[in-house]
Structure 1
């Protein structure tokens, strides 16, 4: 979500972005008067820049405005937003034309706040909204996509949802500065956190990928990645849960995992396991079940390593699913147990 990062250096700004800073400093009345002198294409470019700009540092404003010889530092930082653009456009364009321009920008811009919020995990968004006043929450919900609102409302509870819907129905046009304040809060508190969570989610996906890789391929990747991203690789490996880690489960948990495995995957997984691992599994089973399993493994003869890996992966996946549902507990992560 780094489209909302602060603009810190004027030389990185495009022409429309510098023009956008000028209009924001002029304010709605003077900015509207000046914008009337532009053609439709120029208006569209500047409006797009204002809508996606976010926070601009005071020193950048000063640098852009230095040729005017004004005391721009008195402005401090400024904030560009969709509502700020709307306020400027309303001064000289009909309402339907204003909506048309902004809808075109919002539909195509990757920096649209409300689109990004609508795509967030509903639990994360609900956690933020729970702390806010209902009027603020209603404003936010009124700008999210219908799908996002339908997911978030149930998480806020029945009584609060009733009040929120009432407020959304009765909502009037809010002042631009109030909308801007809400937008800035959402950018800094919600989207920033989402950016941090995105890295954690990416790491979680890689853990699952690594769990399913052939051991030789994983070993080769690890050697190269160790030289490039040693800290990230160490973090991923610490979170990995592989077939041999099943031996660290409590006996009751291991029994549940074995019951989840389908077909002949249990004997196949053990047939290709290390001797110590195989014996651990067998020792945790009742005598009759153990004897039957040994017979199945002996009847298999030679097995393909690919088939063994798939069977072991199914057992690991079964353990992870049982842990997610709270039926079993995985062993605590320990650096001493890290796979090298």
Structure 2
């Protein structure tokens, strides 16, 4: 009985915390060397988000720390074979999760300790820095770089270019299907760094309509609208295909209830409130239905009492929530899709 009560208390405490807050507490519980070892295995954006959460964390309430530790131990105990010290385990797990092409460079970095080189080094740079590096390169090289990097970073880089350049690059990305190993090797030489590991014997799949749609998802709303209009003027069919593959805030209504509940645990209340301002009533009701009655009533009252808010603030909040949704989707915690995709049955 005591165990059940303890578990209930832990769940209640965890429910009030976002995933990033739990991760920050766990990381701050480690010594610096162990924390650094974990950081080395994260993506640049993950390092940035987690580092900011750790630096800004001030609330170290005992029950929160205990709840995070207990959940971590419970999760660890679910696995009977964690593959410690097994190179094959790491290699196979990464390949299964990411695919052979994408996993190969990560395996080299983690197992061989080769560090970030070539194209991978760009992932750790500021968007403006990358834009400055590639601005005078041939558009085809720029296209490969933008297709290789994560969509969110590529969107930030594209924001540094002029409208005409953005249009040309987005259409090139949408038309790109694969890149030959020789081209990747040449590009890494242009970056004046040796690529981490080998490019592989097969052509690398990158670019395409889905890549273009993913980048569009992360662009500022005004830039996204102007760019989509320009693409439509040049190629109406391509514009429609990209539009169909994009995941916008209103598409959250198609996410199942369990997915919405998972998403809401990671979304700050003030961000959700701003995002729902002026949103379709159907989506609002779906959000309310997946909250406790008390929380839903409070949110409704806050929305009614909320004064005017800039459209740009609403759009910014919605994009932040979409970013969280995409991260959860990539982690396999929720399932999102759009009208044009065949990603699941």
State the TM-score, normalized to the length of structure 1. 0.41
Structure 1 or 2, whichever has the larger Rg, is 1
With a CA cutoff of 8 Å and minimum separation of 6, indicate the structure with the bigger relative contact order.
2
